[in-house]
Structure 1
């Protein structure tokens, strides 16, 4: 992606940390965590690879079409999984957004996408609206209002990666990274 170098590396670090967290969630004893963690890890690491500042590393021309194929396959897999769990619809939107960004980068001269003077395309704007709403909704769900009202929760043998608020924080960080990548496109 193009843009300032420091924010680009911060975005890479955020995406790598989220990907590592999602990989750790694949070892969870909670089935719901394991089901979605693999796809989320792929998204985190893929977003990190695509967010590397162009001044640090210019990927070969074949990388962008390869990203498009990889994320297109991930979108199809998420759509198939959405038959049994609606959460996978969001995963498919994220994978399709990554496919779209890779296609824009592949079509741009030199592999560095830009919308030019004509402004932001309709699809980019729609994805920005979707992910901004998702970030706000997920962030609002992290507010511990219910936990404060009901008192302290019992602490069982649930691991830190199995806690739903940790998974939500991971999804929130990926949503914020998606907004940043779409803005930089």
Structure 2
């Protein structure tokens, strides 16, 4: 997962900035947004830590099983939350991808390159397909659509005491999009 220095640091920066923004989103007055932001902050900071170039820091052997346990617990929590809303299934897939990457990295560099006849392990390929599709769909949702005067969606941005910048859905989508892009980049280096 640890690629060249400059791209590794860009990935670390993207993931850490996303995690920091998600921490700020935890100040929302809407409890569901706070919960989602907490999980996304964990994912952002975890991805940032896993992306640090090995030339700078090589994690000790015990770090990878710890990451697998942390993200395994996050996946179980996501499954529990998915009982109420299927939106949490994406968090389960993300946590599962992090567990998978931690397990592969714990097994060593030779396991990371154990491949099928196509050259890419089947689980890596499936995760790449999922996150690529997720990035494309989420990116398309961020593209502004012109509103018809007087029609739905023409009321402008939300205002009021409960609609702070942390509660804006387009910023939350942009946060998820950046983490999806980072996940694709991390999976490509596996």
TM-score w.r.t. the length of structure 2 is: 0.90
Aligned CA-pair RMSD: 1.8
Question: How far off its partner does 1:184 sit?
Answer: 0.9
Give the distance between the partners of 1:7 and 1:22, measured in 2 at CA: 22
8 Å Cα contact 1:26-1:37 kept in structure 2: yes
Q: Secondary structure at the match of 2:60?
A: coil
Corresponding residue for residue 166 of structure 1:
171
8 Å Cα contact 2:27-2:166 kept in structure 1: no
The answer to whether structure 1 residue 91 and structure 2 residue 91 are counterparts is: yes
Between structures 1 and 2, the one with greater helix share: 1
8 Å Cα contact 1:3-1:184 kept in structure 2: yes
Q: Secondary structure at the match of 1:177?
A: helix
CA deviations over 1:20-42 (Å, ceiling 9, x no partner): 11111111012331121111100
Q: How does 1:1-185 map to 2 (within 5 A)?
A: 1-109=1-109, 114-115=112-113, 119-147=119-147, 150-151=153-154, 153-157=156-160, 158-185=163-190
Give the distance between the partners of 1:80 and 1:43, measured in 2 at CA: 17
The 1:38/1:81 distance shift into structure 2, 3 A limit, reads: same
CA deviations over 1:112-145 (Å, ceiling 9, x no partner): 8631575210000000000000000000000111
The 1:172/1:161 distance shift into structure 2, 3 A limit, reads: same
8 Å Cα contact 1:12-1:51 kept in structure 2: yes
Return 5+ residue gaps in structure 1 as ranges: none
Give the distance between the partners of 1:113 and 1:16, measured in 2 at CA: 27
8 Å Cα contact 1:131-1:178 kept in structure 2: yes
TM-score w.r.t. the length of structure 1 is: 0.93
Give the distance between the partners of 1:172 and 1:136, measured in 2 at CA: 9
8 Å Cα contact 1:147-1:153 kept in structure 2: no
